[in-house]
Amino acid sequence: MERGNVMSNATGATTAGFRRGESRFARRLAPYSAAGLEIIPAEAPLGAEVRGIDLAKEDPGDEAVEAMRAAWAEHLVLLWRDQTLTPERQVEVARLFGEPEDMSRVGTDEAGLPKEIIEIENDPAKNASAGASDRYAHGLKYHELNWHSDNSYRELPPDGSLFYVREAPAEGGATNFCNMYLACDDLPADLLAKVRGRVARHDTSHNSANVLRKGFRKPRDASEGIGPEHPIVRLHPVSGRRALYLGRRPYCYIPGYALAESEAILDRLWAHATDQRYAWRRRPNRPGDLILWDNRCTMHMREPFDPRQRRLAHRVQLLGAKPIMG
Ligand SMILES: [Fe+2]
């Protein structure tokens, strides 16, 4: 099983009114069985591999579906290896965990894929030619991807994403995750006092690779950005647990503070939340990996890889709701 950073600070102590390591939120760390499946928790603060199921089959059965949903709630990120899914089947699998979003607005249907699939591709041949489609030209390709949660620049950010690896570079490009429940539990008291009950404005003008979106103008500074406001501490509607919700760092702003203070608070929040002790740093993705993450209580980042290497993945997003103040 993949190894990561073993959580070193899960004690029963309380910090700033949040209780850490509460038994009702306990996450099992040893492998266990559920509905005929093997659940292998990552040696990290989040994540588990699910073994013993071929998701290409039509019906996993109610018990297996319930077991996988429970494992998702417990471990926040699930990984299935060596899966063989058509794009249509990936959408059906996503439907076991939520409602797949229609993503045709980002032009994915040009590729002849179901409207729920977002294609994430790096193709050295297309990068070298001027003839790539508009959709490809505005895609993420090999750009650096820092820690983020998906689509926080929307009023209704997705609850989760189901990411299927079709082609992967031999080295690099791993998708890593961090646990935002734990980052929230551990917030220093003075920092919590500055952000509790407040919202942050999530910039819409740039994409996850910090590239200015088509049709947008670059804000002069973060206080002039545009985008939805979401609670900085959010309540997860399923677990009832509080998580830090940061979205993306560039051009984020906390209304009610002067720009310099907002920047200082956000810098502290980000340094805290992306500390190694909350992260599952994974090995490089392999073709056939299927990864489900909860966008409400985790962030993810992609490690760099050689732009001359091909990479192809398909992502389905699960429809979300307005984040709840925590
Ligand atoms: Fe992402």
CA–centroid distance, residue 14 to ligand 1 (Å):
32
Within a domain: 188: yes
103 three-class SS? coil
Within a domain: 5: no
Candidates 159, 126, 154; CA nearest to 140 is 126
Question: What are the tokens at 247?
Answer: 């979205």
Within a domain: 44: yes
DSSP state of 222: G
CA–centroid distance, residue 55 to ligand 1 (Å):
23
Where is 51: in which H helix or E strand? strand 48-51
pLDDT given for residue 292 in this prediction = 98
Global pTM value: 0.91
Q: What is the C-alpha separation between 196 and 192, in angstroms, rounded?
A: 6
Question: What are the tokens at 93?
Answer: 């699998």
Within a domain: 40: yes
pLDDT of 52 strictly over 50: yes
DSSP state of 54: -
The answer to whether the CB of 293 falls within 8 A of the CB of 176 is no
Within a domain: 2: no
CA–centroid distance, residue 303 to ligand 1 (Å):
12
CA–centroid distance, residue 36 to ligand 1 (Å):
31
pLDDT of 6 strictly over 50: no
Question: What are the tokens at 311?
Answer: 């990479």
Within a domain: 28: yes
Q: Which residues, in sequence order, are CB contacts of 121 under 8 Å at separation 6+? A: 136, 139, 141, 311, 312, 313
Average pLDDT over residues 238-246: 96
CA–centroid distance, residue 279 to ligand 1 (Å):
15
Within a domain: 1: no
Within a domain: 18: yes
Indicate the pLDDT class of residue 21, thresholds 50, 70 and 90. Answer: low
Protein residues with C-beta less than 5 angstroms from the ion ligand 1: 150
pLDDT tens, residue by residue, 147-196:
999 999 999 999 999 999 999 999 999 999 999 999 999 999 999 999 99
- CATH code of the domain containing 135: 3.60.130.10
At residue 87, what are phi and psi to the nearest 5 degrees?
-55, -40
Q: Which amino acid is at 284?
A: P
pLDDT given for residue 132 in this prediction = 72
Instruction: Name the E strands within 96-241.
Output: 117-122, 145-148, 160-167, 175-179, 199-201, 229-231, 233-235
Candidates 145, 150, 244, 252; CA nearest to 205 is 252
Total domain count, the chain: 1
pLDDT of 18 strictly over 50: no
CA–centroid distance, residue 103 to ligand 1 (Å):
14
**How buried is 318 (Cβ within 10 angstroms: 0-12 exposed, 13-18 middle, 19+ buried)?**
buried
CA–centroid distance, residue 208 to ligand 1 (Å):
7
CA–centroid distance, residue 134 to ligand 1 (Å):
20
Q: Which residues, in sequence order, are CB contacts of 33 under 8 Å at separation 6+? A: 39
Average pLDDT over residues 213-235: 93
DSSP state of 277: G
pLDDT given for residue 1 in this prediction = 55
Per the structure, the complete domain to which residue 179 belongs is given by 14-325
